[in-house]
Structure 1
């Protein structure tokens, strides 16, 4: 997706596609097992069986991209204008999010209470209408994303003034908050998974990665192939470790989750740094396909669970060949293709008209100061 505030980097869209695809595979696996299929086993499949880690990539990537924009604005002697920044963010996520929220309140019509409207701002907490059904369950991340948007211009300003150590200070504070919260929460895994205390550090790590990218860009480009292999291995090892020690859906409370988000995000930050530094390009058709996947990734992310659930409930497991692995592959390809098509339609109908209303949110620094006085 092209930004008005920084030069387009197809690598970012490709990483968005990767994050959405990992989450899709996670939920496909859950629905397949729920329908009676034999699931994957073993720690080295954890990048799929614990594919919620794609959300960690999304959050880390957000911090990285927006800090890149802030650094670009600083280099151009411009400042982020808070009002225009929020306007762009609202145009980016609210239209589709509101559609999903209205779907959720329709599904829960008989149990709806007026105060449930407030869950628009806290879809990750309590008994949010979006979390009651798997059809709209993915929307829990949107409140955390928007929370980050609200504070990012300030975080970026203070980081640019004080350096990367400012982010390090925040990470120390987050570690303290995690320990304190662990001691008083009986369901701490879900807390770390879906709330500010468990996810804010991932945005911060993404911001720090953007600063390291600017500082070490030549070195990263030189060693990008090696770093890419090492970072992918690190992510796979991370998820295998989590699968073995404290799997998300089977561990309501474990001290492992105190530091898991940091470990997860550090691995994804390494992948981001390696991939944006990797100079060789993919074949043109693949570049365009992955770029399109990144462009529609928001619709893909919010709609995929609904489609998977429909197919699971109404079609179930099909066996066109009688060969189990081939049947699963066919189901996966067809389901993924249908999700891609539906997401493309949703992008053009719901997202794109509002995205065309965005505008540049950087202002000349001297002019901004003059306006403020």
Structure 2
């Protein structure tokens, strides 16, 4: 058995695990939640009404879509590791670079072009740490979403080792790492004056979400549990969706992001957030009812382009807000907001499709298998 285990979370069909449309649908959901979060920020900035009810927390705290992305990555990686058993680490990293780097580098170069007047040569190092300090990508809303990518790649670097140890020692190994992360979270709170932002965008605040996703995959691996999940998926889906909504309502009520630089609520928030999404994720991948064919294809396409959609939608929203302002075609606030959402979402979707076809997809075709098994690659969605 090879020393390394790994996985892939590519948005194009995987070469290392049979395609599952439910995963693409979850990617679409995560990207859409983040879009709605940024839309309401731009809308409020233009003078539009705020969503004040905690039950709108899935939108007002829609950064939770990032938590879903991170948890989903850990889940899919671990699924592939459990399936493949033997992975070539070099080929795994090669695929990860081909998956992420072309579009990420494009966004980084756009950011350094925008900030050319204040650019310093050492800013190039931020290519590996866009979530820390004063990264060029964080200087403008057009490229601001890129902060997650450096953090994601850090996980790619260490995941093969974590997967090996977890497969050798079982879930208790990941639980041990989570316990250590809890200690780091608690101790870091005592010495960081802006701990909310620390928990939001750093290793200390997000690494546990990858781990929880990995744990969810290991749970799903057990046949008896998987059978029960499939049998009870409809009501579990409703229950876990309710759980996520209640979590977001609690965050909106007690510790909304940006309201205070330091809040004890955030110490273990990422663990609770990720646990809620992991439960929803297990229910959704276990849900076997077929969606209407057209709706299914749309959601799957949304998942396929979600990387481009995530990185580009803020630019679309900002451009529209600067050029058009607060549109009032009907005079009814809710109707006008719905029209603006639909128009900006459609433009973001079209731009993301163009980006996927011209930047992402050609490089994705250069990937190769890094596991021992040859899988059926029939496209399901």
* TM-score higher than 0.5: yes
TM superposition score normalised by structure 2? 0.94
* Deviation of 1:318 (Å): 1.0
Query: Distance between the aligned counterparts of 1:4 and 1:106, measured in 2?
Result: 35
- Residue 336 of structure 1 is matched in structure 2 by 345
| 1:271 and 2:280 correspond | yes
* Deviation of 1:130 (Å): 0.3
- Residue 38 of structure 1 is matched in structure 2 by 49
**Counterpart secondary structure, 1:158:** helix
Query: Distance between the aligned counterparts of 2:317 and 2:71, measured in 1?
Result: 26
* Deviation of 1:140 (Å): 0.2
Could you give the per-residue CA deviations for residues 41-93 of structure 1, whole angstroms, max 9, x where no partner exists?
1100010000000000000000000000001113xxxx111100000000000
Query: Distance between the aligned counterparts of 1:323 and 1:36, measured in 2?
Result: 14
* Deviation of 1:322 (Å): 1.5
| 1:224 and 2:245 correspond | no
Could you give the per-residue CA deviations for residues 178-207 of structure 1, whole angstroms, max 9, x where no partner exists?
011100000000000000000000000000
TM superposition score normalised by structure 1? 0.96
**Counterpart secondary structure, 1:251:** coil
Report the structure, 1 or 2, having the larger helix content.
1
| 1:292 and 2:301 correspond | yes
Counting only pairs closer than 5 Å after superposition, residues 316-355 of structure 1 correspond to structure 2 as 316-355=325-364
Query: Distance between the aligned counterparts of 2:58 and 2:260, measured in 1?
Result: 17
- Residue 244 of structure 2 is matched in structure 1 by 235
How many residues align? The count is 360
- Residue 196 of structure 2 is matched in structure 1 by 189
Query: Distance between the aligned counterparts of 2:117 and 2:372, measured in 1?
Result: 48
Query: Distance between the aligned counterparts of 1:80 and 1:166, measured in 2?
Result: 20
Q: 1:214 aligns with which of 209, 216, 221?
A: 221
**Counterpart secondary structure, 2:372:** strand
Query: Distance between the aligned counterparts of 2:229 and 2:57, measured in 1?
Result: 28
Query: Distance between the aligned counterparts of 1:36 and 1:322, measured in 2?
Result: 14
- Residue 155 of structure 1 is matched in structure 2 by 162
| 1:282 and 2:296 correspond | no
- Residue 84 of structure 2 is matched in structure 1 by 73
- Residue 376 of structure 2 is matched in structure 1 by none
Could you give the per-residue CA deviations for residues 207-229 of structure 1, whole angstroms, max 9, x where no partner exists?
00001111121011011111111
Q: 2:32 aligns with which of 21, 30, 34?
A: 21
Query: Distance between the aligned counterparts of 2:290 and 2:158, measured in 1?
Result: 35
- Residue 367 of structure 1 is matched in structure 2 by none
| 1:118 and 2:125 correspond | yes
Q: 1:173 aligns with which of 180, 183, 189?
A: 180
- Residue 4 of structure 1 is matched in structure 2 by 15
Query: Distance between the aligned counterparts of 2:188 and 2:358, measured in 1?
Result: 42
| 1:134 and 2:129 correspond | no
Q: Any stretches of 5+ residues in structure 2 without a counterpart?
A: 1-11, 374-381
Query: Distance between the aligned counterparts of 2:87 and 2:246, measured in 1?
Result: 38
**Counterpart secondary structure, 1:363:** coil
Query: Distance between the aligned counterparts of 1:322 and 1:210, measured in 2?
Result: 49
Query: Distance between the aligned counterparts of 2:168 and 2:220, measured in 1?
Result: 18
Query: Distance between the aligned counterparts of 2:263 and 2:183, measured in 1?
Result: 16
| Runs of 4+ residues deviating >3 angstroms | none
Query: Distance between the aligned counterparts of 2:64 and 2:163, measured in 1?
Result: 25
Aligned-CA RMSD value: 0.7
* Deviation of 1:39 (Å): 1.6
Query: Distance between the aligned counterparts of 2:298 and 2:291, measured in 1?
Result: 11
